[in-house]
Amino acid sequence: MLQIQMRILRVFGLSKAEMNSIIENAQTEGSPSLRLQERDGEYLVCVQASAPTQAMADEYCEKWVQKLRTRFGDACYGFEDTTLAQAALDALLKKRRLLVAADEATGRLLGNALRGLQHSEAAFDFGNQTYLNPANARRIAAPEALLKKFPGDMVQAAAGRAQSALLLANADYAAVYMPATVGQAPFVLLCSRIGAAACALSPEISDM
């Protein structure tokens, strides 16, 4: 009777094409059974190995887990039950960084993901210094000069608001989520003190 070992790798940030390429190459090289599941850009890769003994199954499975982890690179954020929210929180806590949201809608999404996780209040302010603070909330806005330079540019406007929230809260990062509008796909934007990066979401996603 064959013995079985199973592990799950969690991956975020790679495209479906990149994921499929890595999985297909691994299968060509003789990997054990690999199953890929995807939801909202997050992937679960199930590695299931079988062998005559449990020790052999464990070794075979672990060998391919490490191979795949190397190929996924930093996009592999955890294993088994580790959630993306927990992995992000762990990274913020490890580097002692503070994340804030530029508006209530974004804060609600982040708060729902982080609330209940141990020490989350040390890495996310839950709006206390931004949109829930009346004095600061009124001041969170993109600079007029930026809006004039990039008229109608929602990404630049979001970056301006994120930078404003970051400075008011004396934080390290500020986030903005923008739902889909006419002619504009939904996107998320993360701002630091040295720049900002935006990532478009699937057009099918109208609310996270």
Q: Look-up: residue for tokens 């059974």?
A: 33
- Does residue 86 belong to any structural domain of this protein? no
| pLDDT value of position 202 | 67
Q: How far is residue 156's CA from residue 170's CA, in Å, rounded to a whole number?
A: 21
Domain termination residue (choose one: 44, 79, 114): 79
Q: Are residues 72 and 114 in the same domain?
A: no
Mean pLDDT of 78-92: 92
105 with 63, same domain: the answer is: no
Q: Is residue 138 part of a domain?
A: yes
pLDDT confidence band for 208 (50 / 70 / 90): very low
Name which of 15-24, 39-48, 146-155, 199-208 the model is least confident about: 199-208
Count of structural domains within the chain = 2
pLDDT surpasses 80 at 204? no
User: Are 10 and 69 in a shared domain?
Assistant: yes
How many beta carbons lie within 10 A of that of residue 57, not counting itself?
20
CATH number of the domain where residue 47 is located: 3.30.70.2860
Confidence of residue 203 (pLDDT cuts 50, 70, 90): low
Residue 94: partners with Cβ closer than 8 Å, 6 or more residues away: none
The verdict on 105 and 183 lying in the same domain is yes
Phi and psi dihedrals of 125, rounded to 5?
Answer: -85, -5
Query: Is the pTM for the entire model greater than 0.95?
Result: no
Residue 121 covered by a domain: yes
Asked whether residue 87 is assigned to any structural domain, the reply reads no
179/136 same-domain check: yes
Q: Are residues 75 and 100 in the same domain?
A: no
194 and 118 share one domain: yes
pLDDT digits (tens, 9 = 90+) for 126-174: 999 999 999 898 999 999 999 999 998 889 999 999 999 999 999 999 9
Last residue of a domain, one of 54, 79, 104: 79
Q: Is 206 part of any domain?
A: no
Question: What range defines the domain where residue 136 resides?
Answer: 95-200
pLDDT digits (tens, 9 = 90+) for 11-38: 998 888 999 999 999 999 999 999 999 8
Residue 182's CATH number: 3.90.950.20
Domain identity same for 174 and 103? yes
For the chain, where are the alpha helices, taking DSSP H only?
16-28, 54-72, 84-95, 104-114, 134-137, 144-149, 154-169
